[in-house]
Amino acid sequence: MADETHPDLTPTEAVAHVASGLYDSGYVNALSHFYRGELGRIMVWRTRLDTTTNWAVTGTTAIITIAFSNAGVPHLIFFFNLAIVWIMLWIEARRYRFYDAFRARVRMLEAHFLVPMIMENRQMLQGEWKKLVCEDLILPSFKISMLDAVGRRLKRNYVFIFLLIMIAWVMKLFLHAQEPIESFGAFYRAMRVGHIAPWFVLFIFLGTLITVIGIAIYVGRRSSGEISEFGNHRSLWRI
């Protein structure tokens, strides 16, 4: 494929011409600033992810403390706890999609710009990564779906928060039930809150548990996440 800016060059000469531009000082300087700018952008979004997680943990801690501090507090309070955590998870998943979109640019520069520079191997310059980066700069787009984003954040952090709420909910029922819970029937009756039927409470409880575990397993099988584990071929890596 000939270089469009130099149509008189042969395909081999065009590749050599493009590769030789890799070490041009102006080109390297521009991409270095671009890389630092994109790296700073994803760090901002990474901090925003930590913020929503902290909100979810803080809210859950406060609600659990209130629930166990007074036996008169109904376990209906865990409904609001689940709602708060689901909202935080949705907000964090949306933020994660932005983070992942900009992280893709950084990874593109690391794989196709920094690696050839470090290896001093111009033959590693392959593919249309420059075109892809330019297209993404003109028309930015998300790289993962909302479901994948929810699943990733759920798998990394929120599954533990949901499980903590489930365990605290069950403990609340056993500790502050009006009658001793010695059978499933007594446990089922203890789920009633005012005029709210116990079957509805049980449905919310099991539905949340099944949904959380299902999404975590589904997304976990489809995606390896941001960073993969060391393989045998990288066992020599030592600092």
Q: Tell me: the pLDDT tens digits for 151-165?
A: 889 988 899 999 999
Question: Is residue 4 domain-resident?
Answer: no
Report the Cα–Cα distance between both ends of the chain, in Å, rounded.
42
3-state helix, strand, coil in the chain (%, to 5): 75, 0, 25
- Residue 59 covered by a domain: yes
Tell me if 237 is assigned to some domain: no
pTM: 0.78
> Comparing 70-79, 181-190, 198-207, which segment has the lowest mean pLDDT?
181-190
Q: What is the SS3 assignment for 64?
A: helix
Residue 108 falls inside a structural domain: yes
Q: How many domains, the chain?
A: 1
CA-based nearest residue to 56, from 161, 206, 164, 201: 161
Would you say residue 24 lies in a domain?
yes
Residue 3 lies in a domain: no
Q: Look up the domain containing 108 and give its range.
A: 11-224
pLDDT reported for residue 10:
54
Alpha-carbon span 92 to 49, nearest angstrom: 6
Domain contains 235: no
Any domain includes 238: no
pLDDT higher than 80, residue 125: no
